[in-house]
Structure 1
């Protein structure tokens, strides 16, 4: 998600005269956070293109979905709203709630890395008013940070990934009645993942990856996206960024050395890409994790 204008749930809330946006920030990796206050409102969400994970921070005792009028919200209740869902809400009284907006591409990557499954096999399960103390505690830590401070925002990014990983492991399930067509065979997908992880420092080409599967570049790119939920270059960049973050947290290696280990031509190229993805410099990221 490159802009708040593309996040329909955010825009729906932001356009209401009853709602106040306390803060929002892009946390990198296709994740955006927002903190809202609302009072005596009604909201309708029509097939948003992103996933939403929400937590009631305060109030919400008389908030309910129109199709579930007997179930009411409360502090620390969580809701999982997948992309493409439909829901209508009535907010009676006051409520304060935190949202994470998650791109389908990031959830697809999580399905690959955490579940070792093709994203098209998986589906985020819609759920309302979940009791999950660990997730609620993460949300409370998240909103206690200053999202405009680069160092703290990077820590919020780590918390956001914890929230997303927990959601992926607990709310993602197999699609009912799915009959897979096209895409890469599971053994080819595993072979590609292993090859990419072992060669993140190398200047990998589309033809090189396609050759592993004995496919043309055109057919490989299409089938890769069907299997992984994102194009090869985005998957490769995400894996390189993950490796870079790990090296920044756990080692004192120079940025130039990290750049080469993660497949970037120079420290400046690495620094520019890191800032684009994470919203802060590699130095700020490392500093945030120093004790």
Structure 2
């Protein structure tokens, strides 16, 4: 349970009458949990991370206090953004699955899918919506063994697909926030292109700052404002994503992939990859190459 200590919704449920069936960290700021509950009341207040949930069984008497006319049901989905507040009443029995996403993972996905500044976007709050494809992905997740490395990688792939779909379908521009500072749009686009073209090379803060004619100090601050993550975190994420792509779509040896992604050695790449994906590059290739 300690691996989910940073997820407030998980911790709130742990202190309620809800019973945890199983949980796991999926890597890259994503975690999952399956719960059962009955005859309970709970609430969440600005948890600081995003939660996407799917009802697996029951829930016909479950509702939000501010929306008493809406009731849950199997396969209903809820999207609870990082800044949301809600209070819930559980009448009868309920079984559900939660996926927890940290805001950094949301930022990286927003940049990758929408090419927009993450701070300009917000995930829309949704209660008891019907999306058969998403609920099917949740159902598939429940059938996998989260403890087995290969199946956990499939879990991570499904979880990312759920986040991507939610971001594309249920996010929009923030109108309650006055955006100040940060990089200009052309600078951000230029940096993304520059980093992609130089992932096989060392990339220092000084080098990145020079590419947009800024001092290293101001560059680091403005980059974090616009990208939602620090420069080194973004570069590492892009290196690892390219490494994952090469593992899935090429026959290059792990050492060759490490060099192609800017890592000093195969061991350095493997250590970073394991920390992010919860599996070694070899385990990743065996588990997902057939699903490329």
Provide TM-score, normalisation by structure 1: 0.97
CA distance in structure 2 between the aligned counterparts of 1:177 and 1:206, rounded to whole angstroms = 32
Is the contact made by 2:3 and 2:24 (CA closer than 8 Å) also made in structure 1? no
| SS of residue paired to 2:263 | coil
CA distance in structure 2 between the aligned counterparts of 1:162 and 1:10, rounded to whole angstroms = 21
Length, aligned pairs only:
289
Runs of 4+ in 1 over 4 A off after TM superposition: none
User: What is the correspondence of 1:65-104 to structure 2 with a 5 Å cutoff?
Assistant: 65-104=64-103
CA distance in structure 2 between the aligned counterparts of 1:259 and 1:277, rounded to whole angstroms = 15
Q: Does 1:264 align with 2:269?
A: no
User: What is the correspondence of 1:163-174 to structure 2 with a 5 Å cutoff?
Assistant: 163-174=162-173
2:5 is matched with 5
User: What is the correspondence of 1:7-22 to structure 2 with a 5 Å cutoff?
Assistant: 7-16=7-16, 18-22=17-21
Q: Does 1:277 align with 2:276?
A: yes
1:169-208 deviation per Cα after TM superposition (whole angstroms, max 9, x unaligned):
0111001254321000000000000111111111000011
Is the contact made by 2:247 and 2:289 (CA closer than 8 Å) also made in structure 1? no
CA distance in structure 1 between the aligned counterparts of 2:287 and 2:211, rounded to whole angstroms = 39
1:144-181 deviation per Cα after TM superposition (whole angstroms, max 9, x unaligned):
10000000000111101100100110111001254321
Is the contact made by 2:51 and 2:80 (CA closer than 8 Å) also made in structure 1? yes
Give the Å deviation of 1:265: 0.2
2:237 is matched with 238
2:253 is matched with 254
Q: Does 1:196 align with 2:195?
A: yes
Q: Does 1:180 align with 2:176?
A: no
| SS of residue paired to 1:6 | coil
Give the Å deviation of 1:289: 2.1
CA distance in structure 1 between the aligned counterparts of 2:31 and 2:111, rounded to whole angstroms = 21
Gaps of 5+ in 2: none
CA distance in structure 1 between the aligned counterparts of 2:196 and 2:94, rounded to whole angstroms = 44
Q: Does 1:288 align with 2:262?
A: no
CA distance in structure 1 between the aligned counterparts of 2:69 and 2:174, rounded to whole angstroms = 28
Give the Å deviation of 1:22: 1.1
CA RMSD of aligned residues (A): 1.1
| SS of residue paired to 1:24 | strand
CA distance in structure 2 between the aligned counterparts of 1:232 and 1:175, rounded to whole angstroms = 24
Provide TM-score, normalisation by structure 2: 0.97
CA distance in structure 1 between the aligned counterparts of 2:154 and 2:55, rounded to whole angstroms = 21
